[in-house]
Structure 1
Amino acid sequence: MALALAAAQPVQAQTPAARFQRFDIPAQEASSSLVQLCLQADCELSFVQRPGQQARTRAVRGEMSWREALVRMLEGTGLRHRFVGARGVRIWAEPAPSRPAPAEPSAPSEAVEVEGVEVIGRASSQIAESLRRKRAADVISDGVSVEQIGGLPAANLAEALQRVPGVAIEHEVGEGQFVSVRGLGPLFQSVTLNGAPVAFNENIRNSTQSGRQFRFRALSVDLLAGARLAKSATADMIDGGIGANIDIETAGGLDGDPFASVRVGGVVEGRTRGFRPDLSVVGRIVSEDGNLGLVAGASQEDRAVRYDRFQIMRFGRIQAGGTSLVAPNDLRTTVESEDRRRRSAFVGADWRVSPGLRLDFDGLVSTFDNAIREDRLVYSLGPRLTGQGSEIRVKDGVVVGGRVAGGRIDNNTEFSDQSHLNLAVSLGAELRTDAWTLTPRLSVSTARSVLDTPLLRLSAQSPEGAAYDFDLEGAVSDRRAERLTTSFDLLDPSRLTLAQLNLRAVESRDDDATAFFGARRKLDRALGPLHLSGLKLGGQFSDRGRDYQRRDRRATPRGAGWVLADLYRGASADDVFADLVRNRSTPWIVADQDRLQAGFFLPGEHDGVVVAPGDLTPTGADLQNSYRVGEQVAAVYARLDFDGLVGGWPFSGNAGLRQVRTRTHVEGAKLAFAHGTGVVKPVSFDGRHDVLLPSVNLAFETSGDAVLRMAASRTITRPSLADLRASTVPASVLVSSIYTRGQAAIDDPEPGVIFSGVGGNPDLKPYVSDNLDLSYEVTRRRTGYSVAVFHKTIGDFIQMVEAPEVLTFETQAGPPIQAQVLMSRPRNLGSARVDGVELGLHRRLTDSFGVWANLTWTHSRVGGARLTGVSDWAWSVSPYLERGPLAVNLSWSWRSAFRSEADMQGGGVSDFTIGAAGYLDAQASYDLSETTQVVIAGSNLTNTHDLAYEGSKARLLQIGSSGRWFSVRVNRRW
């Protein structure tokens, strides 16, 4: 059967491929749905179907180009297609599979094209689908679908996104966590859920805070439909992403046919060896009339991770033989054990109330619980390196090895139970009138992070006189230290004395409520060589904020007969640091969490140590460490869509303006000294910023399979909420020392005590960037590739600046005292520049074998230095093999070294370098039947070691290793 449909119109009113429209076409017989699509989109259709064969297309709902709508409609139908020019498409049926015949094959009819069969759900088809969506978009964009995430090795959405051109990720304890795009770190990405802002899930592990950096591992990918990255801006897009706008997509109730799927499996870590379950169930139901659909799902993922960390906290200077040398203050070996549990549930509903009214709802809740313990040995160095009987070895002015004859070893243990809750709900409507389509929407989200068990830091010490040897030469290049050994008995708790048990209770709550209103209408108006095709008007109002509360205490042992040795039970694993230190002294005795919690209390405040911030009356230091930030954003926009023909090239584009006003209100406190006593002074600040954001996007269809894009825009990123805080946080060791020793801690500081700290600056302005983008994209049957060049000039760039401040400190037994502290605070310091090139490639070499690859080069500068978080080079290559029911996928991802800044456990902000790293992941799947599949995956198969160093490579800061992990799962779909 053949069907042809042509919709003629004047040349100046042609509808190019990239024009976006609203489609609402239910699942039905193919000829009906294709006619309905082309009548609505003004496209030209040629459809050839084999006699006696009928295909049923998928439902298509939402705003997209007609090409993208067609691709979605044909998924899983067995129908093939080829676009012809700007408005045409040919669709034909795949030939039925048959056994080879000895006779000469007859020539196929003109309407049938024989190609390798693409299996829906395999990597090849989903990569090709991403390239088609990239081509159909009205901006420079990339993305991944949930099928890609499932078809390629990836533990979470962040790890899937690193295969997209221009994207690099940061790992945290063995799992991808933060996303950087086009050389700009996680702060510069605007993350939305189905187009609506989401509250940020805060880091509460230590005094380092992440501000606006979305933590991707808090969400389960099972309940997601994918993610889209917009690398150029439009006026109707949520502002806040200079790097990119990352929209996380969930499924809709009417986005497809009814189904049910179950995944059962688990994860095995190479070090912990335990098997942890991995379960999910997802399904969709649709009413018989196709007007009401509901999709829902739930999942649970558990992991047990062990991360070995060999670390130097800071470097200082020592005098040896009249020569000033750089030397590590200490050496630390830490075993970090984490029990992670991620639970998620999602529901999406769509209701077509009438032909002109549609309602939709989506809700996502995710909990991420993380029980952490860190067992640590701290070998004191610094001035002890020049003590009697000690020896040192020096290279390029840095102490890289030696022996300490009269030292001290700290046996430290930290416990905490993190709990993160993310909740997001959204309710929207689409109301069609004769001329306009109105789209109001309301979204509410909250992110709550709390330490269910506060951070407990037990410090015990060996006697003075412990001897140990170390050798760090070559540790950076080899990512392995040569030696750290001691003659001290690390398994005898009776030789330890209590230093202290510190407690930190933290709770952070972020909230976001956003109201949208959009109105759009089709246009059909000529303006010179332009055809005006659409107009969008709208606005947004967001009210968001953070309440961060922190309490620090020192606990007291219970009873007079208390014995420190009773707290210890068991020892570290025998194989700790086996791949980080060649010659090592292990294991060592470790503390028991239950005995520790039972053995201490907070006199006068709480009969125990398991407390929340609300259980304790805040001290002046607590109030100084806590803060509240409120932010209100109001925006209005206008966007005009157009198309036309120039030089024989059809083109489309959009131009718009977005006016944004941001108001901030910050509250905090500062401990001050007045009339011989300490007083807590409230601090508040109100700010307001207005900015106009223009944008232009153009797409020229240079041929039937190629698009040239150009974009210019102005975008903003607001300062991190942590940078805006009105708080002053001196180094933890300094606060503790002054509280205990009073003025003596200032007059005669103990080794390792540093007079530094960090704080915020409520007076910060937002980053404002002027952006230029150029890309060329080609999508062919077996090959797709893209080349993009980008430039960003970012004004009011924020950097940390150190300056001395006189701070007031509380003491245990006397009045408050003051001391001068070198504080690091953020400041707006001029402009930064980012230039780069990104390449993307998908090449199907044979019917069974292909490769997906990308490469990004970035050159960034601010004040003569590279931007923090920016690698000059990042690339990934993912070859795949698909033969019959078997699919095998490999993925190698690599990024070059980059600068980083962090508050080193309350010791002040340090500038250091994260070493280059590459990770190899693999996955194999086998289709047991049309509905059942088994999948085996492995991550970090190269056992890559993380690396950090300060300045030169002679100054090692950290080598870390999480080992390999493996998973197996069975997927079944009905």
Structure 2
Amino acid sequence: MKHFTHSFTHTKLASAVTFALMSLHATSPVYAQQADEQEVEVINVKGVRGALVSAANIKRDSDGVVDAITAQDIGKFPDTNLAESLQRITGVSIDRSNNEGNQVTVRGFGPSFNLVTLNNRQMPTSSTLLEDGIDRSFNFREIAAESVSGVEVYKTGKANISSGGIGSTINIKTAKPFDYDGFKAVATVKGVVDTSVEVGDSVTPEISGMVSQQFADGKVGVLLSLSHAERDSRKERVGTPGWVPERGSNVDKSGIDTSLNPSRTHWAPLAISVDTHDNQRERQNGQLVLQFAPIDTLVATLDYTLSRFEETSNINRTSFWFDGDTGGDADANGTVTNPFRNDDELNFWSYHNYFNTDNDSIGLNLEYQATENLSFNFDYHDSTSHSQPDGRNSETITNLKNPRVNDTNGDGVADRGGVDVSIVTDPNGRPDIFFDAADLPGQDPYARENIQFDLFQTRGYEIENNIKQAQLHGQWVNAYSGALSQINFGLANTDYTIDTYAKRTIAFVPLDISSLDIQFNSSNGFGKDIGGNSNFFPLLSNYSAQDALQLVKDQGFYFQEDPIYNGVNEETLALYVSFDFETEFNQMPIKFTAGLRWEDTDVTSVSLQRGIKALNYVNTAGRFGEVFTDEPTNISLEGSYTRLLPNMDFNIEFTDDLVGRVSYSTTLSRPDLSSLFPSTTIDARPDGPYNASIGNPGLLPLESKNIDLSLEWYYDNGSYASVGFFKKYVENFIGITTREGTMPDVNGNPLTDPSINPRPGCPDEVVGGNPACFSTSDDPQITFLISSPDNLNDAEVDGWELNLQHMFGESGFGTVANMTFVDGNVKYDVYDVESTFALTGLSDSANLIAFYEKDGFQARIAYNWRDDFLLALYQPQRQGEPTFVEAYGQWDINVSYDINENVSVFIEGLNITEETTRRHGRFADQLISAEQFGARYNIGVSAQF
């Protein structure tokens, strides 16, 4: 790329243009060829120390508060997972799935409050789990870290950056051929050793590579990067799908402390479950980038990026459900700590989960230097994320159970029979399960003659999220004296569309399972880190949900309900302008930026859903079935809003080493998509709970006014200490409200309960439903607990960020230590049973990293800690009840050695102390899940040319 160098390298304007283009949504060859030596290192850093020095330089030179991570070398990011690298940044913490980072929280604002861009382009995302809902959060598991050259975290709003992130905007940068001089190639091969594996391969491959070349005297460049990764793993879990208020008719409430719980509400578990999860995951990433510079003032970049993510999970679950007459004693908070239920059955669940997501993005970028003072950058991309693109069900679920027999043990409960279960938990919430099977033949709930088929279920989302975005950025640079250094301006149009198909079929069928391979294995050795086998069922079930579903098909009982369609289209037009000033005050350099972004958004929300004619009384323990109309009804609603988003950044260099910052900005985050759908969902069971949820297409975006103060001391190359304070005033905060009320059928009449005064022959599990068991207007009306999102009260969040990065001279040793304290008036009130207004993800966090790098040897040990936080305003099978994640800390290591200039070997260890995770409901003794994982290690070799 000699043309740019010859034209601009020796001019002051060249440096200004380079800096401008960096801030204009593109990494250009101007930057790679024209920057000074320090700037070139930002692209071509090597080693831990070089990456940290580069990140420190980005932080120091930025307007506003920006943190960054750069690759240690070509194809070598600090961690194997992007989220796990991001958690090293002050103020950034992560959520984990299967003990692997997948989503990020910034300054207490959870995944859906942070915008993720790829090379400054807004990226789509899709998920297939029904229980997760549909939000805008990006899953970092889908991108290989080896393909990333850097990540920038913008914590303050900027006029030229797309809106959508109250917590931050996270920009992922990938390499381009003009970033390098001539031919470059790198390849990495590693084996992933997962110590938890019991089904699958304990060693799986990860392969990645990149090749870049320039042609025609640097006027043409081509870069291709590819990666393939596999991982097998196991998770062992004990927990419950939810805690239900006022569940159970035999609960002793005398122990409730009314000063804590004035309503004397008690909570009992839906069930107790013990699970084994055997997982297999494959991920492919690829990017092809073509660059063409026909003249010195024009660079065209055409790129195509893809990812393919596929995960299969086979789950076996042994559980016991506590139905309406649950008994036990409530503690001071209202938790039933020793629930019991007489004469029910054990349940033996099997799940086959298949999750498949295809991401594709094609983009065109044009950089044009119109005059010495004026440059333009045009960028367009069409990007799609598609979950379950082949239409397959993402979740297949089958359940076996013990038979119902007449009462024989004299407890007075007629026509139930089966197993008696009681649970006692210790102060840490670990359950001890006591049960007997006096009513079953042979008193053995695991005997083959005491097992029968119960139900099958298929469910999941198919989601297609498409974003078409066009952006035009312009910059005028003042080549003369004066405080005004440059003006940035531009416009953008973003067309955001999401189409969702929710699939759910559930049926109780009389299946012959005599040919089904069912095994019951000893629980000895299960959950050694979460309580041990003495606390759980003596035997755990093991069979294939796919085999059971095949029997359902073979015996003619299989069917699928029509999917429910929901869709949202958002079209946003944005205009922006910003002015940059540079001057001095008392010989102290000052930089000041003032910007304004105007956005106009039109929203159309659509649902296509069959109306409910009645509820079907299918089973005494399972949920009511819905009796639908034959034809769906189309519901379409529209909305719009316009926002002005100002920002101001003020930087002053008190000395050569001491930098102060003051920033103000207004940012917004748009509502989660599933909350906008106008459709309704019913989940009702005999004796309760009776739950319903309704979307709210009229939701407004959250708007936050942000103040940032920062003092940074850069006392040596790569070494600095900083302290920052932030305050966020959030309006239109979205929470879940619950109310009691009736839900209408398709004719507008309240739904009724067919189980209160059942008709002869009901309940009936006959396929297709028994009309005698359908609800009628003569049955009692159901009072539902109705959940709905709403724009609730304003909120305030504030916090402190402390950071120290120190290099111990030329010794090779260095350390990074940081901590974030976050607080606000948006914490969840566990004793308030009426409203769930709270901010998910709010928590303190800390990092401690020590490293050594010298003579080709690199070693790093990192500890990451996150305090307890509110994960969600729902539980797996209970809306309106919270899920908290308890405090968690993890140790990771990384060691590598450069055999020569081209080849290095390495070993990486993640969660080397095999930490476990725990989630609970309102109180610590309301266990949701305790999960055990193993450590995993990556051993490999990397070569570059």
TM-score band, normalised by shorter chain: 0.7 to 0.9
Match of 1:668 among 607, 630, 633: 607
Task: Look up the match of 2:319.
Answer: 378
Give the Cα–Cα distance (whole angstroms) in 1 for the partners of residues 251 and 295 of structure 2.
Answer: 88
Task: Look up the match of 1:443.
Answer: 381
2:14 corresponds to 1:40: yes
Match of 1:905 among 836, 857, 876: 876
Give the Cα–Cα distance (whole angstroms) in 2 for the partners of residues 149 and 835 of structure 1.
Answer: 38
2:365 corresponds to 1:428: yes
2:61 corresponds to 1:146: no
Matched residue type, 2:537 = S
Give the Cα–Cα distance (whole angstroms) in 2 for the partners of residues 65 and 790 of structure 1.
Answer: 34
Give the Cα–Cα distance (whole angstroms) in 2 for the partners of residues 144 and 726 of structure 1.
Answer: 41
2:478 corresponds to 1:545: no
Offset at residue 453 of structure 1 (A): 4.2
Offset at residue 520 of structure 1 (A): 1.4
Give the Cα–Cα distance (whole angstroms) in 2 for the partners of residues 793 and 306 of structure 1.
Answer: 42
Question: For residues 565 and 587 of structure 1, do their structure 2 counterparts lie closer, same or farther at Cα, with a shift above 3 Å needed?
Answer: farther
Task: Look up the match of 1:91.
Answer: none
Task: Look up the match of 2:40.
Answer: 73
Give the Cα–Cα distance (whole angstroms) in 2 for the partners of residues 653 and 593 of structure 1.
Answer: 62
Match of 1:278 among 197, 203, 206: 206
SS for the counterpart of 1:806 is coil
- Structure 2 segments unaligned to the other structure (5+ residues): 18-26, 255-265, 404-416, 438-442, 615-626, 746-750, 753-767, 830-836
Task: Look up the match of 1:314.
Answer: 243
- Structure 1 segments unaligned to the other structure (5+ residues): 1-23, 44-59, 78-119, 610-615, 738-748
Question: For residues 917 and 485 of structure 1, do their structure 2 counterparts lie closer, same or farther at Cα, with a shift above 3 Å needed?
Answer: farther
Task: Look up the match of 2:142.
Answer: 218
For the Cα contact (< 8 Å) 1:948–1:959, is it kept in 2?
A: yes
Match of 2:427 among 436, 459, 474: 474
1:235-384 equivalences under 5 Å are: 235-257=159-181, 258-272=183-197, 274-287=202-215, 289-312=217-240, 313-317=242-246, 318-320=248-250, 323=253, 326-381=267-322
Offset at residue 405 of structure 1 (A): 5.9
Give the Cα–Cα distance (whole angstroms) in 1 for the partners of residues 158 and 251 of structure 2.
Answer: 65
2:743 corresponds to 1:806: yes
Offset at residue 776 of structure 1 (A): 1.8
1:537-686 equivalences under 5 Å are: 537-554=489-506, 562-564=512-514, 566-568=516-518, 571=521, 575-582=525-532, 583=534, 584-601=536-553, 618=562, 622-623=563-564, 626-669=565-608, 672=611, 678=629, 680-686=632-638
Match of 1:133 among 50, 58, 61: 58
> CA offsets per residue over residues 368-419 of structure 1, 9 Å max, x none?
1011122111123355654xxxx87967654334776644211111112111
Offset at residue 595 of structure 1 (A): 2.0
Match of 1:520 among 447, 472, 475: 475
Offset at residue 544 of structure 1 (A): 1.1
Question: For residues 572 and 643 of structure 1, do their structure 2 counterparts lie closer, same or farther at Cα, with a shift above 3 Å needed?
Answer: farther
For the Cα contact (< 8 Å) 2:453–2:509, is it kept in 1?
A: no
For the Cα contact (< 8 Å) 1:637–1:659, is it kept in 2?
A: yes
> CA offsets per residue over residues 538-594 of structure 1, 9 Å max, x none?
100011111110222235869x8x325625357587533222233133442322244
Task: Look up the match of 1:859.
Answer: 823
Deviation larger for 181-190 or 954-963: 954-963
> CA offsets per residue over residues 751-803 of structure 1, 9 Å max, x none?
xx421133321000011111111112233226222221111101111111112
Identity %: 21
Question: For residues 882 and 941 of structure 1, do their structure 2 counterparts lie closer, same or farther at Cα, with a shift above 3 Å needed?
Answer: same
Give the Cα–Cα distance (whole angstroms) in 2 for the partners of residues 532 and 775 of structure 1.
Answer: 24
For the Cα contact (< 8 Å) 1:666–1:726, is it kept in 2?
A: yes
Give the Cα–Cα distance (whole angstroms) in 1 for the partners of residues 77 and 861 of structure 2.
Answer: 8
Give the Cα–Cα distance (whole angstroms) in 2 for the partners of residues 62 and 653 of structure 1.
Answer: 27
SS for the counterpart of 1:580 is coil
TM-score, normalization by structure 1: 0.81
Question: For residues 238 and 498 of structure 1, do their structure 2 counterparts lie closer, same or farther at Cα, with a shift above 3 Å needed?
Answer: same
Give the Cα–Cα distance (whole angstroms) in 2 for the partners of residues 37 and 491 of structure 1.
Answer: 82
Task: Look up the match of 2:727.
Answer: 791
Task: Look up the match of 2:262.
Answer: none
> CA offsets per residue over residues 469-518 of structure 1, 9 Å max, x none?
53321234xxx545567677575444211111112253111000011112
Give the Cα–Cα distance (whole angstroms) in 2 for the partners of residues 863 and 570 of structure 1.
Answer: 44
SS for the counterpart of 2:638 is strand
Question: For residues 139 and 425 of structure 1, do their structure 2 counterparts lie closer, same or farther at Cα, with a shift above 3 Å needed?
Answer: farther
Matched residue type, 2:807 = R
Question: For residues 37 and 910 of structure 1, do their structure 2 counterparts lie closer, same or farther at Cα, with a shift above 3 Å needed?
Answer: farther
Task: Look up the match of 1:86.
Answer: none
Question: For residues 470 and 157 of structure 1, do their structure 2 counterparts lie closer, same or farther at Cα, with a shift above 3 Å needed?
Answer: same
Match of 2:398 among 447, 455, 458: 458
Give the Cα–Cα distance (whole angstroms) in 2 for the partners of residues 293 and 149 of structure 1.
Answer: 17
For the Cα contact (< 8 Å) 1:327–1:382, is it kept in 2?
A: no
Give the Cα–Cα distance (whole angstroms) in 2 for the partners of residues 902 and 153 of structure 1.
Answer: 33
Matched residue type, 2:860 = N
Task: Look up the match of 1:413.
Answer: 350
Task: Look up the match of 2:814.
Answer: 850
Task: Look up the match of 2:763.
Answer: none
Task: Look up the match of 1:108.
Answer: none
Matched residue type, 1:812 = G
Give the Cα–Cα distance (whole angstroms) in 2 for the partners of residues 838 and 67 of structure 1.
Answer: 34
Match of 1:503 among 458, 463, 477: 458
2:703 corresponds to 1:768: yes
2:483 corresponds to 1:531: yes
Give the Cα–Cα distance (whole angstroms) in 2 for the partners of residues 148 and 784 of structure 1.
Answer: 22
For the Cα contact (< 8 Å) 1:469–1:485, is it kept in 2?
A: yes
SS for the counterpart of 2:131 is coil
Question: For residues 489 and 917 of structure 1, do their structure 2 counterparts lie closer, same or farther at Cα, with a shift above 3 Å needed?
Answer: farther
2:914 corresponds to 1:943: yes
Offset at residue 294 of structure 1 (A): 1.3
Question: For residues 307 and 798 of structure 1, do their structure 2 counterparts lie closer, same or farther at Cα, with a shift above 3 Å needed?
Answer: same
Task: Look up the match of 2:792.
Answer: 829
Deviation larger for 310-319 or 674-683: 674-683
Matched residue type, 1:314 = W
Task: Look up the match of 1:158.
Answer: 83
SS for the counterpart of 2:901 is coil
Give the Cα–Cα distance (whole angstroms) in 1 for the partners of residues 708 and 930 of structure 2.
Answer: 38
Offset at residue 697 of structure 1 (A): 1.1
Give the Cα–Cα distance (whole angstroms) in 2 for the partners of residues 209 and 362 of structure 1.
Answer: 32
Question: For residues 217 and 454 of structure 1, do their structure 2 counterparts lie closer, same or farther at Cα, with a shift above 3 Å needed?
Answer: closer
Offset at residue 323 of structure 1 (A): 4.0
Give the Cα–Cα distance (whole angstroms) in 1 for the partners of residues 922 and 706 of structure 2.
Answer: 31
Give the Cα–Cα distance (whole angstroms) in 1 for the partners of residues 67 and 916 of structure 2.
Answer: 30
Give the Cα–Cα distance (whole angstroms) in 2 for the partners of residues 806 and 557 of structure 1.
Answer: 28
Matched residue type, 1:767 = L
Deviation larger for 671-680 or 428-437: 671-680
SS for the counterpart of 1:850 is strand
